[in-house]
Structure 1
């Protein structure tokens, strides 16, 4: 397994990962040579998964989730795993860094300078998840190019995704309409589907196939200013966040963003009572 740093250097992370897994989840240490000799031959079709890890403030809950997940993914022998962490004070630049982008390579560049991979998964540092949820997210990309999991927003009311860019709702509320849990449950009962189509999803737990990046252009997360005119002639202008901009580029390229409603992860937020 490899990991990228902010300057895109690639280093061996296998030893560090094993130590972390042992310390955190009490996985017994096994001699690597013996394990290699005894293990069955890996599957032929190994997926190369890039895990983007933006930020550097991780709770113990995130670290336990990540360490347990990484160990189990490694044990499946189905994935070639690359880690791409990044930090910074400007979120769009951090997102770009997790794709191995470098401003000096110019506007025609592609993620990781064109190196091959199958799926890019981004997990925010305030998300709590399980191995099963991560594997389900990976497997979902066999059916859809862009898939996200569900998590509640800090308002404790809505999920972090939007079905439609409803400008009428925006004019009245100053925001687009996020989806409530009861709406999802009703939709699932009526349709018996699990993939919910959206125009926007937060990027806290999202997977994107490489082909999508081939269809959209650098810098991927640049913000735009949305302009909406009300019936009385008032002009409302709003700056899109980097995840909104990214989702708009995806849909403009002809892809449908799907939320797997069977995946609900935790979202760590401070609560004052």
Structure 2
């Protein structure tokens, strides 16, 4: 009898998600916006001292994405944050500041790299690196991030910490100045695949996370998703809306061997720059 109840609950849950999918149709994930007015949903203000790896990326001096410091010469971000840039110097940013538009160290791009299998249509392998024209000066507020070991995928229920300057509420028209943070929990892969069945393929080099009233949002793309142990496990990739049930946020999984292989190729000079 208990098994029958569980089966019925699973069926009803799947049916509910399917109805929600049909309601939104084939809408493209909104987190892949190119607007600069896009913050952490349901989060709190924080300081760069707690997230010294965090950077803000700008395109033609307008806020676009978040990112994290890999070393003094490279920023890790999402491929879609770099995809349509014409020249690398059009990308600039700021490290070492809690404020997205002042303080800290300003930097400019020298070359952009993103995974060869990435496309805006399929959203696969959403990982990119920005090489800087001058190295950052490392300090207490400008530190390289530590990446999770390959194979250490997050488990369902694990708490993930997000940080960034994206909009605080869906529909807001201005990004905040102060860095913000929130926590979400990893959700099951099959539920995430079901939720996005009509909009995007959720593959093995992604993971999903959500929490009631909390999420990353437009402008947080490319930013770090951190484990409780302080290692970066994901890159904010896409979502359908912000804190929008039943659609969790989707993240590039940095524990995935193929994702890490590409990052290593770039850092070792074996990958070809796109710009």
Task: Determine which structure has more spread, i.e. the larger CA radius of gyration.
Answer: 1
TM-score normalised according to structure 1 size: 0.26
More helix by share: 1
